[in-house]
Amino acid sequence: MGSLSANTEEYLEALARISAQGRKPTVKELSAMLKVSPASVSEMLRKLASSGFVEYERYGKIIITEKGKKEGGRILRKHRLLEKFLGMMGVRKERLHEEACILEHAVSDEVEEALRAAVSEKGEGALKRLSLMRPGESGKIVLVSGGKAARDRLMEMGLTPGTKITVRHTSTRHGPMEICVRSSCLALGRGIAEKILVEVS
């Protein structure tokens, strides 16, 4: 995860998408893609230009620099990886793009590598949603999905990527499950458990 804002990353990703199709980006197209006003696009392009990501003059051409191509390509690869991964996890096709947009800004380089290993054949079998784990199984949290409020709540409970957990007890299919994190145990609803992906050890 870089130090760029989520908004900056969205623009760089959009520029990378357009460039990957062999086209020249325009203010009009960026405005439509990102659902913002042309004035907002122009303002952001000036900021990107001052950071060396693009060359831009008002009403002029938008030229992506090598720095911009590198950063935009990195974000686009992360987005595509997340879409592929979320598809593997059963997320509906029409939700993939939006969910990947939310997650791509929160995924660290370390978690990205874990996801990359997960979508390769050798890693697939080792990953499970927490909601599908059985008593006695343990592993390391790889990804926490869902909206910001849900992710913040889970982080407050100590359920962050890299954290080791053990399932202590599960009730009925839709009932809560008890897990142990570090030195404490806590109950989690199935809805929340479905948002946590674990690399089972």
Please, are residues 191 and 133 in contact by the beta-carbon 8 Å criterion?
no
**pTM of the predicted model over 0.85:** no
> How many Cβ atoms are within 10 Å of 191's Cβ, its own excluded?
12
Q: Are strands 164-170 and 54-56 parallel, antiparallel or unpaired?
A: unpaired
User: Rounded to the nearest 5°, which phi and psi values hold at 185?
Assistant: -115, 145
Same domain, 95 and 173: no
Q: Choose the final residue of a domain: 92, 109, 124.
A: 124
Q: What is the mean pLDDT of residues 9-14?
A: 95
Same domain, 65 and 139: no
Residue 164's pLDDT band, with cuts at 50, 70 and 90, is: very high
Q: Choose the final residue of a domain: 71, 93, 124.
A: 124
Q: What is the mean pLDDT of residues 58-79?
A: 90
Angle at alpha carbon of residue 157, lines to 153 and 163, rounded to 5°: 115
Kindly tell me if the per-residue pLDDT of 4 is higher than 70.
yes
Selection from 116, 173, 170 nearest residue 142 by Cα: 116
- 113-156 residue pLDDT tens: 878 877 764 445 567 888 888 899 999 888 887 777 777 888 88
Same domain, 37 and 62: yes
Same domain, 108 and 160: no
Report the pLDDT value the prediction gives residue 120, as an integer from 0 to 100.
67
Report the pLDDT value the prediction gives residue 91, as an integer from 0 to 100.
80
- Sole residue written with tokens 């989520």: 6
- 23-32 residue pLDDT tens: 899 999 999 9
CB-based burial label for 147 (10 Å; 0-12, 13-18, 19+): exposed
Domain extent at residue 105: 1-124
> How many Cβ atoms are within 10 Å of 149's Cβ, its own excluded?
8
Report the pLDDT value the prediction gives residue 1, as an integer from 0 to 100.
42
Same domain, 45 and 136: no
